[in-house]
Structure 1
């Protein structure tokens, strides 16, 4: 694991696989990390075995990266700047990008800010919620700041608090992150994302919103149903892995 600097913050990253292959930049979800989201479920090995150069990093507030507690540090545009800074650090001019959940939102902002940097896009765990929102997340911040999990009554809050506890996360930094990182895009914004895009959402995911509805707003996108999976389990699904590799291997 190495580090790079973006926006004055030191962020952790990995650079694996074929150094001469097409690059795929991976961006994990909220309260997760590159290890939990990409390494442990086998994504890094899967993509490396397919011949890709696999780059991933821990978002600010997550994993081994810096953890500011100012909510303004977590505006999606600033977090998207971290992706561009890492590509600059590694001297990668153009890359595919794959974001899961919050990482998909950040990937969308990154693709809009610098479309020439991103050849293909995968959104996992986020469908029309990118535009319509994914519900009331104030309860998540409250749950993260509660004295203990026993003090959390909200079901969604319990899920994310338990996840944060399990990953030994900085809960104050995560609460700041969730208060600012859920900024939505408009249908017109999404319609300007012209790169080939795959949108994968679990059929039991009650957070992401419809993949088909989001794909319909985009000029070159298609949806993939991750059968029988909820928001937490979809990321490790074998059929989703196979579909992502197929999509990334299609070329420009």
Structure 2
């Protein structure tokens, strides 16, 4: 069981997001954004990463995106305007009165973090995990893959490339109607706007993770970024203690 405190915070449109928090209330805030169809427990809490940051003195804030975890998953298309996830995080930052804070994202959380940087958000430090250069630019292909997985959720067989995505969605209790609406809300990212950002960035990725393209290339293309490699694939890297250790080392600098 997690010792995180969970609150539900309403966004301007009334959708409530579950926000998990750990660590001292007066600690330096770190905002952690999970991956697609995952949640705070799976990405950050279960394998000890949030706990390590809390033990290091950070106030760890882990919102769950709409349609994910304990957050609302409305079926109204109006709840999914373009870039709603980034807008939700901006509203949350304002509601929590966060000024100086760090930002960490895994996969979709990393994509959302990159989007926020292009929108002018300037965290003290940013960690982009499980993300490569191509993953910030080829969302149409990835979106279609997951839409196909939703369409096949009742018929997919082992051996199909969508099998594990379908299994993960079912395990996580993802609402397929809401998920389809959300997948179509992600706007393009102006990758050129990322290249000169002076925020210190760590690009962290599993050694066998190519799901979102080349992480080393992403680090090379960002002015203040460096690459850190840990063991694992896209799915297994979040289970590695090395992930939490790397975050503590980077954010503690």
TM-score exceeds 0.5: yes
Alignment pair present for 1:203 and 2:207:
yes
Q: Is the 8 A contact 2:132 2:210 kept in 1?
A: no
Cross-structure match for 1:188: 192
Instruction: Name stretches of at least 5 consecutive residues in structure 1 with no aligned partner.
Output: none
Q: CA deviation at 1:131?
A: 3.4
Q: From 133, 136, 139, give the equivalent of 2:138.
A: 133
Cross-structure match for 2:16: 10
Q: From 240, 243, 247, give the equivalent of 2:243.
A: 240
Q: Give me the whole-angstrom Cα distance separating, in 1, the residues matched to 2:112 and 2:42.
A: 18
Stretches of 4+ moved more than 3 A in 1? 134-137, 149-154
Instruction: Name stretches of at least 5 consecutive residues in structure 2 with no aligned partner.
Output: 1-5
Q: Give me the whole-angstrom Cα distance separating, in 1, the residues matched to 2:23 and 2:153.
A: 42
Cross-structure match for 1:61: 67
| SS of equivalent residue, structure 2 residue 27 | coil
- Do the aligned partners of residues 163 and 66 (structure 1) sit closer, same or farther apart at CA in structure 2, a change above 3 Å counting? same
TM-score (normalised: structure 1):
0.89
The superposition leaves residues 188-237 of structure 1 with CA deviations (integer Å, 9 ceiling, x where unpaired) of 1221432100011112112121122111221100011123x110011221
| SS of equivalent residue, structure 1 residue 209 | coil
- Do the aligned partners of residues 187 and 140 (structure 1) sit closer, same or farther apart at CA in structure 2, a change above 3 Å counting? closer
The superposition leaves residues 1-55 of structure 1 with CA deviations (integer Å, 9 ceiling, x where unpaired) of 1111224121110222011111000100000011111111212211101110000
The superposition leaves residues 134-157 of structure 1 with CA deviations (integer Å, 9 ceiling, x where unpaired) of 6443132122233515368641x2
- Do the aligned partners of residues 27 and 74 (structure 1) sit closer, same or farther apart at CA in structure 2, a change above 3 Å counting? farther
Cross-structure match for 1:158: 163
Q: Give me the whole-angstrom Cα distance separating, in 2, the residues matched to 1:64 and 1:203.
A: 31
Q: Give me the whole-angstrom Cα distance separating, in 1, the residues matched to 2:60 and 2:142.
A: 34
TM-score (normalised: structure 2):
0.89
The superposition leaves residues 164-189 of structure 1 with CA deviations (integer Å, 9 ceiling, x where unpaired) of 111122122122222333x4423312
When you count helix as a share of all residues, which structure comes out higher?
Answer: 1
Q: Give me the whole-angstrom Cα distance separating, in 2, the residues matched to 1:125 and 1:152.
A: 25
Q: From 98, 104, 109, give the equivalent of 1:103.
A: 109
Q: Is the 8 A contact 1:6 1:85 kept in 2?
A: yes
Cross-structure match for 1:21: 27
| SS of equivalent residue, structure 1 residue 11 | strand
- Do the aligned partners of residues 128 and 75 (structure 1) sit closer, same or farther apart at CA in structure 2, a change above 3 Å counting? same
| SS of equivalent residue, structure 1 residue 115 | coil
Alignment pair present for 1:174 and 2:179:
yes
Q: Across the two proteins, how many residue pairs are aligned to each other?
A: 245
Q: Is the 8 A contact 2:137 2:191 kept in 1?
A: no
* Cα RMSD for the two superposed structures: 2.1
Q: Give me the whole-angstrom Cα distance separating, in 2, the residues matched to 1:246 and 1:74.
A: 37
| SS of equivalent residue, structure 1 residue 119 | coil
Q: Give me the whole-angstrom Cα distance separating, in 2, the residues matched to 1:67 and 1:188.
A: 33
Alignment pair present for 1:120 and 2:119:
no
Cross-structure match for 2:3: none
